[in-house]
Amino acid sequence: MSSETSLILLKPDAIQKNLAGQVLARFQAAGFVIRGIKMMHLSDEILADHYSHIADKPFFPAVRSFMQETPVIALALEGEDVIAAVRDLLGPTDSLAAAPGTIRGDFGFKDGDAKMRNVCHASDSVEAAQAELKRFFKDGEIFAY
């Protein structure tokens, strides 16, 4: 096991449903430490970079529109094997397939937007986390204490 830091984005549906505190509490109850946190509006540029793997797809404008409905909360979350553990806490990307007790199973949309309106984004690898943390946090915004 190793200590890692992951990027978590609390998406607009989490903000709209006032779930930030409950989601943060679950991460902290699992033993993870917040090293950085901020609320921010996402620009077209940051979204095109973050979603570069789908930016040329016909559904990308809907993703961009959704991610700009409200500010998001960006977290730098640290802990032992945090990347895999957070993804387990979240459940599958599709909230309809997420089991009760997971964040997406408990809070995700249960309709046609269940894959997009799924409460959180979380890094899926150490390499992705490193790139994503740099994308969303400036130097000096992630703290060690």
Catalytic residue among 41, 50, 53, 121: 121
The Cα 15–Cα 88 span in angstroms is 21
What's the token pair of residue 101? Answer: 């007790």
- Classify 87 as helix, strand or coil: helix
CA distances in angstroms from 24 to 50, 56, 62, 80, 120, listed in the order given? 22, 33, 27, 17, 11
53 is catalytic: no
The Cα 122–Cα 58 span in angstroms is 23
Report the catalytic residues: 121
